[in-house]
Structure 1
Amino acid sequence: MHVPIRPVWTCAACGRPWPCPSRQRQLMAEYTDARVSLSVFLSACFVQACADLATMPAGVLYRRFLTWPYEMPTTTTDEG
C-alpha cells in the first residue's frame, strides 16, 4: 500500500516521497468530483509533514502536498 512512513514521509510501497505518483493517482480516483475534500485531507497531511520535517522549507512541502491535484487533469468533462 502506498501509505506514508512517518516521520520521514516516504512511501511504504515504493520508497519515494509521499504522496508518490501511484498514491496521487489513487487519491485522484478516490476523490473524484471531491477536490475540496482532497484538499482538506492533503492540508492535514501538509501540517503534519511540516511538524515532522521541520528542517525542510515549507514551500517545498507545500508544492509536494498541495499543488499536484490542480496540475493533474480531471476525469470529468464539460458537456453542454
Structure 2
Amino acid sequence: MTRAAPHEPMRPLWRCGACRADWPCEPAKLILLHRYRDNRTGLFLHLAHLLVAATPQLTELHRITGTQQNLAERFVYWARPRT
C-alpha cells in the first residue's frame, strides 16, 4: 500500500508535494490550523519564516517584481482569525 505524500512545500517551486497546488494548499492550511490550534502566534511566526524563505526563491524563479503583498496573502494573511 502506498502512502499519500504529505501536503508539504516542494522548494523552490513552493508547490504542494501531494496535490501540486500553490503551497499552502487548502489541506496544508487545515493541517497547520490543527497543528497550531493552541498557538496562533506560533503559526504566524512559522508562516512568516516560510514567507521570508519563499520570497527570494519565487521572485528569482518567476522573475516577478511587486509580488510581496500577494505572497504575504498567500503565506500569512489566510491564517488571520475571522471576525
Band the TM-score falls in, shorter-chain normalisation: 0.7 to 0.9
Q: Does 1:60 align with 2:70?
A: yes
Identity of aligned residues (%): 33
Task: Please report the TM-score for the alignment, with normalisation by the length of structure 1.
Answer: 0.85
Instruction: Please report how far the alpha carbon of residue 6 of structure 1 lies from its aligned counterpart in structure 2 after TM superposition.
Output: 0.6
Q: Deviations over 1:14-45 (max 9, x none)?
A: 00000000000000000012010000000000
- Displaced runs of 4+ in structure 1, greater than 3 A? none
Gap runs ≥5 in structure 1:
74-80
Q: Does 1:33 align with 2:33?
A: no
**1:49 to 1:31, Cα distance in 2 relative to 1, 3 A:** same
**1:43 to 1:30, Cα distance in 2 relative to 1, 3 A:** same
Instruction: Please report how far the alpha carbon of residue 51 of structure 1 lies from its aligned counterpart in structure 2 after TM superposition.
Output: 1.1
Q: Deviations over 1:21-73 (max 9, x none)?
A: 00000000000120100000000000011010112511110000111111558
Count, aligned residues: 73
Report SS of the residue matched to 1:42: helix
Question: Equivalent residue for 2:17?
Answer: 12
Q: CA RMSD in A?
A: 1.5
Residue identity matched to 1:11: C
Gap runs ≥5 in structure 2:
1-5
